[in-house]
Amino acid sequence: MLKLSSVFIVPLFFIFVLLSGVSSAQENPYAIETKVIKNEQAIQTLRQQQANLYLKMEDLLVKYGELLGKIQDITHRLDAVEARLNSLASNSGSRVNARAAIPQTNPYSNASSNQTYRNNIPPANTLPAMPKKQVNSNVAQNIQKPSNANIMPKNKNISSAQKTVANLPKPAQKQKPVVLSDKQIYLAAKKLYDTKRYRAAINAFENFKRKYKKSKYLPNAIFYLAQSHFNIGEYDKAIISYDYLINTYPKSSKVPAALLKEGISFIKLGDNIDGKYLLKKTISSYPNSKEAQTAKKYLRKIK
C-alpha cells in the first residue's frame, strides 16, 4: 500500500508544480505589458523634460545674443565719444598756438607822433569864423531825404520773391510708423518658407513666437519653424518644435503631421526605437489620415 501511495503522490506533486507554473506563465504577459506601459510613460516624461530644457537653452541663447549686441553698441559709442574728445582736444591746442603766434600791437606806439601833431594844432581863437547861414545852407544842400523808391521795393520784386517762396520745397512731414498685424507678420514669414529661404524663415518664426504668444497663428508658426529646421537637416531642433506643438496645442490641425515628422526625425538621427513608436502612434491616433499612410510606408522600409 505504501508503494502504491508513493507512486501516486509523486506524479500528483509534479502535476501541481506544472499547474502553478502555467498559472504564473498566464499572469506574466499582463505584468510585462504593465511594465512596458510604465516605461513608455517614463520615456514620454523624459522626452518632455528634454524638450523643456532645449527651450530654456534657446531662450538663454537669445538673451545672450541680445546682451552681446548691446555690449557691442556701447563699445562703438564709447569709441565715437573718445574720437570726438581727441578731435576737440587737438582743435583747442591749435587755437591756443594760433593766438600765441599773433603779434601784440601797442595801441600807444604812436604816442610821440600824436603828441607832436597836437602841439602843431593852432589854438581855437586863431581859426577864421565861418558864417552861420553859409554853413546851414551847405548842410541843407548836402542832406537829402531818402526817397520811398529807395526804401520800398517795387511790386515786381515782391511778386518774384513770393513766387520764390512758393516754389521752395515744403518740409517733409513725419510719417507715422506702420503697425503690422500678427497675420501680416505670419504671412511674411510663411512666404520665406514657401520660397525655401529656410534660415530667414527660422528667424522670422522665432521672432513671431516670442512676440505673439497669444496669436491664433502661433501653432502654425511653430509647425513651420520645425519644418524649416527639418528641411535643412537640423533634426534635433525640429524634434523640439514638433514635440512642443504636440504637447502645447494637441487640438491643432498640424499635430498629425508634427507627430509623423517627429518620428521621421528620430529615424534620421539613428534612433529607430523612438521613431517607430511615434510612427505607430501616428497610425493608431489618426488611422484614416495621409500621415498614417506615410507612417506605414516608413515602417515597411525600416523592417
Q: Which residue has the higher pLDDT, 191 or 3?
A: 191
Return d(Cα 47, Cα 239) in angstroms, integer: 10
Work out the pLDDT band at 66, boundaries 50, 70, 90: confident
What string of H, E and C letters represents the secondary structure of 121-141? CCCHHHCCCCCHHHHHHHHHH
pTM of the model: 0.45
Q: For residue 44, count other CB atoms closer than 10 A to its CB.
A: 13
Task: Give the dihedral sign, CA 296/250/208/242.
Answer: negative
pLDDT-based confidence at residue 98 (cuts at 50, 70, 90)? low
The owner of cell 514657401 is 194
Confidence check: pLDDT of 111 > 60: no
pLDDT tens figures, 198-231: 999 999 999 999 999 999 999 999 999 999 999 9
Q: Regarding predicted confidence, which is higher, 218 or 23?
A: 218
Is the CB of residue 257 less than 8 Å from the CB of residue 223? yes
Q: What's the rounded Cα separation, in Å, for the pair 193 and 302?
A: 30
Give yes or no for residue 292 having a pLDDT over 90. yes
Place of cell 493608431: 284
Q: Is the dihedral of CA 14, 15, 20, 25 positive or negative?
A: positive
Contacts of 265 (CB under 8 A, 6+ apart): 230, 235, 236, 238, 239, 242, 275
254: helix, strand or coil: coil
For residue 4, is pLDDT > 50? no
Cell, residue 49: 523634460
The torsion defined by the Cα of 22, 26, 27 and 28, in degrees rounded to 10, comes to 90
SS3 57: helix
d(CA 271, CA 279) in angstroms, rounded, equals 12
- Which pLDDT belongs to residue 30? 58
Contacts of 166 (CB under 8 A, 6+ apart): none
- The highest-confidence range among 125-134, 144-153, 159-168, 265-274, by mean pLDDT, is 265-274
Residue whose C-alpha cell is 547861414 = 133
The answer to whether the CB of 189 falls within 8 A of the CB of 162 is: no
Given a cut of 60, is residue 237 above it in pLDDT?
A: yes
Considering the chain, what is the average pLDDT of its residues? 74
CATH class of 183-302: mainly alpha
CA gap 190, 201 in Å, rounded: 7
Q: Among 52-61, 63-72, 166-175, 242-251, which stretch is predicted with the lowest mean pLDDT?
A: 166-175
Q: How many Cβ atoms are within 10 Å of 64's Cβ, its own excluded?
A: 10
C-alpha cell at 187: 504671412
